[in-house]
Amino acid sequence: MHQAAGEAAITLRVALSMVSGVAGLAIVRRKLGLDYARQSAATALASGLLHANRDCLKVLATDGKMLRVSEHGAMLMEAESPEQLSGADWLAFWTGEDRTAAEKALAGAVSGKSTSFTGSCATTRGRTRWWNSTLTPVTGDDGAVSALLCASEDVTQQSELLKTLRERDELMHEMELHVRLVFYSYSSHFEHCHHVSAGVESVFGITPQELGNRPSAWLDLVVPEDLEPLLAEMNRVASEVAEGRVEYRIRRPDGCLRWIRSTAYPVCDGSANVVRIVGVSEDITLEQERLAALDHLAYTDGLTGLANRGALIRQMKTLCRQNVAFSLMFVDLDRFKVLNDTLGHTAADRLLQDIAKVIQGALAPDACVARLGGDEFAVIVRGESDKATLASLAQSLLNLFSSNVRKDHAAPFVTASIGISIFPEHGRNHEALLTSADIAMYAAKKGGRNGFRFADEASSDVLGDFELECSLPTALASNQFVLHFQGIHEPASLAVKGVEALVRWNHPARGLVGPGSFIPILEESGFIVEVGAWVVDAALAQLAVWQAAGRKELSMSVNVSARQLRDDSLVAIVDQALRKHRVPPRCLQIELTESALMENPSLAQATLMALKRLGVRIAIDDFGTGYSSLRYLADFSPDIVKIDRSFTATLGRDAGAASIVRGIIQMSHELGIKVTAEGVETNPQLHALRDAGCDYVQGFFLTKPMNAENLVQCESFVPLSAAGATSYCSH
């Protein structure tokens, strides 16, 4: 009895020690072989252990048929009971490579070896599970294998986790290998490299092994001028325990220059000590190239390829901040607007491109040449403040402009005016230097063009004109321009038959400014077109008021400049104003000078014909002083010619002038053209013109230019007798 209990205890210990849950079943059977009762008890005990095991336990025949399955094993296989699986072919559950592995394990176990493999098979409900299976042979008394014990551990969760981790590792490896990023981990002061990703080869051109052997190998690639700020940032990250970022350039072993951005993050232990530094480095060469391209677009003039105003100002700010000696030349082409309108925009653009090349070719390579817009250029001359040297340079530029610049042979020569300011003599910041050079350039233009001036040579009247030019953009918007009117009289009755609109500038600081002070500025700046359109509209608005008050036949004369005549919108502006104010076109008279007409005769003729088709009358102003000829009177078909005041002034004391006046009047009448004499300032002049048959007279002797309210109070604004007249409305 004691012996049986001991054998049972041995059986129990062996059964309990089974790793697979059933490996000791054969031992149990052998230990209790002859004693059936003891054998049955041991078998029952082993069977209980088999069912208590948490693996899928099976007893297989040598051909793979399942003889018995544990309760828990049946549950893992999603069978209704162990009996459902009894007699089933164990190999049939496996497919593909897993079937091959199962067959190999079965054959090995049948040959007497313990075998194992890992594979996936479907449960009875078709769900795939992963198993670690161990097959143990069971031998009889004769030593032959009579059965197999199979213990399968469900490792589905572990397999899926391993698969996920493996896929993640593969993904990270692919990313590190192909993405231009370098992930790294260094010791706290960058002495040792714990890890560097495979991307280091594509970014830095060195292998992870090289960095492992020599952690500072990558620093040898940094361009010398970028090394110091890089090392400073690395030290800051370690000492301040703060995130760091730095951009620098490297020269790879293959000679290629690349931009790198490195970001570092210190990792601390529980005591706030830096234990390692991790981070990422990336190749930002393409980003830098895009930024350079954007910078080029932002700071380059699209027409000439020169620097633009923004680039010039940036350069000037840098030089001023560094307190470096330099000078600024402000170059403005003379009468470029005339050239632009004459040549056409395409040819004028090519001319500007040629000018840019001339300036660049004449200066040192380190000179900054910029186009500020339109026909304005600027030059920064580094390290030069000697006026004699600068004067020589400016004169050489002027000589090149007038002798070397040609475009389609359309312009005989090109001239420019140059203003020069010197740092810090004429200003300690870019605004002051630009303003000083601009004023000096303006002085050069006023001095006759095709010259240069230094900033300290600009006179007070030039400064005044410059201030006027700066005020122009706001003058029209704030209604600073006003109209004065001068009567045009019938010589016999001295009645006002028409009025001439004359623009004045009511400047907020300088008071009423005469046209001689600002009309040239309007012409040069191009504002004459906008101001001229306003004059036409305002003049016709006033004429409409007078006509509504009873002066139905009163006419209005408006002066048009050469610049306005070249503008395509002139005819439309006149037509729109006539329609807006419902003024009969015959009551509007457009006055043009001979020089304006002859600047581009074919264009002038086409524009005049278009105006005449509207019903507007045309007058040639200052007749007799320029290109006067019978042919051009026939070509332009004016309705009126206005004798220049220079002829009127000598009437009564110069017989030759009187003959010219009579000749103009007679010739005009024979062509069906009316005549107005300007500049009548004395009674003898008035009588001489009346005797010569002049149609209309105009001058200070009759009416001075005045506002509309004063003009209507003049006696001559209504028909009067000329008897005893001395001076009419001369206040």
User: What is the 3-state secondary structure of 196-209?
Assistant: ECCCHHHHHCCCHH
Q: Out of 149-153, 359-363, 464-468, 663-667, which region has the weakest mean confidence (pLDDT)?
A: 464-468
- Predicted confidence band at 597 (pLDDT cuts at 50, 70, 90)? confident
Give whichever of 102-116, 391-405, 447-461 has the largest mean pLDDT. 102-116
Q: Which two tokens stand for residue 110?
A: 């049948």
Are 12 and 45 in contact by the 8 Å Cβ rule? The answer is yes
The pLDDT of residue 134 is above 80: yes
What is the percentage of the chain residues whose pLDDT exceeds 70?
86
Backbone angles phi, psi at 127, to 5 degrees: -85, 135
- pLDDT for 177 equals 66
- Predicted confidence band at 322 (pLDDT cuts at 50, 70, 90)? very high
- Predicted confidence band at 29 (pLDDT cuts at 50, 70, 90)? very low
- pLDDT for 53 equals 66
Nearest partner of 116 among 105, 130, 126, 124, judged by Cα: 105
Are 714 and 729 in contact by the 8 Å Cβ rule? The answer is yes
Over residues 284-296, the mean pLDDT reads: 90
The pLDDT of residue 183 is above 70: yes
Residue 215 vs residue 42, higher pLDDT: 215
The third-level CATH classification (topology) of the domain covering 161-289 is Beta-Lactamase (3.30.450)
Q: Which residue has the tokens 């572990």?
A: 158
Are 130 and 159 in contact by the 8 Å Cβ rule? The answer is yes
How far CA 650 is from CA of 223, 657, 677, 691, in Å, comes to: 84, 6, 12, 15
* C-alpha to C-alpha distance for 335 and 37, rounded to whole angstroms: 130
If you average pLDDT over every residue of the chain, what do you get?
85
- pLDDT for 293 equals 87
Bridge partner residues of 363 (DSSP)? none
Over residues 243-264, the mean pLDDT reads: 96
CATH number for the 299-458 domain, one of 2.40.110.10, 3.30.70.270, 3.40.1350.10, 3.30.70.1560?
3.30.70.270
How far CA 625 is from CA of 401, 622, 629, 664, 680, in Å, comes to: 31, 6, 11, 12, 17
The third-level CATH classification (topology) of the domain covering 474-717 is TIM Barrel (3.20.20)
The pLDDT of residue 24 is above 80: no
- pLDDT for 326 equals 94
* C-alpha to C-alpha distance for 17 and 20, rounded to whole angstroms: 9
How far CA 451 is from CA of 333, 392, 464, in Å, comes to: 11, 12, 20
For CA atoms 94, 97, 102, 104, the dihedral sign is positive
Backbone angles phi, psi at 204, to 5 degrees: -95, -20
Give whichever of 405-419, 448-462, 489-503, 702-716 has the largest mean pLDDT. 489-503
Q: Which two tokens stand for residue 672?
A: 């069906």
Bridge partner residues of 642 (DSSP)? 676
Task: For the chain, give every domain's residue range.
Answer: 1-53, 161-289, 299-458, 474-717
The tens digit of pLDDT for each residue in 699-724 reads 999 999 999 999 988 877 754 333 33
Provide CB contacts within 8 A for 576, sequence distance 6+: none
The tens digit of pLDDT for each residue in 676-700 reads 999 999 999 999 999 999 999 999 9
- Predicted confidence band at 454 (pLDDT cuts at 50, 70, 90)? very high
Q: Which residue has the tokens 């970028």?
A: 226
Provide the pairing of β-strand 128-139 with 640-643: unpaired
Nearest 5°: the CA angle 693, 698, 704 is: 155
The tens digit of pLDDT for each residue in 439-451 reads 899 889 888 889 9
Provide CB contacts within 8 A for 92, sequence distance 6+: none
- pLDDT for 563 equals 86
How many residues comprise the chain?
731
- pLDDT for 727 equals 36
Over residues 156-184, the mean pLDDT reads: 80
Please name the amino acid found at residue 487.
G
Q: Out of 161-165, 539-543, 579-583, which region has the weakest mean confidence (pLDDT)?
A: 161-165
Q: Which residue has the tokens 């070397």?
A: 404
Nearest partner of 650 among 679, 693, 691, judged by Cα: 679
Over residues 188-196, the mean pLDDT reads: 87
What is the percentage of the chain residues whose pLDDT exceeds 90?
57
Q: Which residue has the tokens 């088709």?
A: 613
Give whichever of 186-190, 347-351, 696-700 has the largest mean pLDDT. 696-700
326-333 β-sheet, strand order:
368-373, 376-382, 326-333, 416-423, 452-454
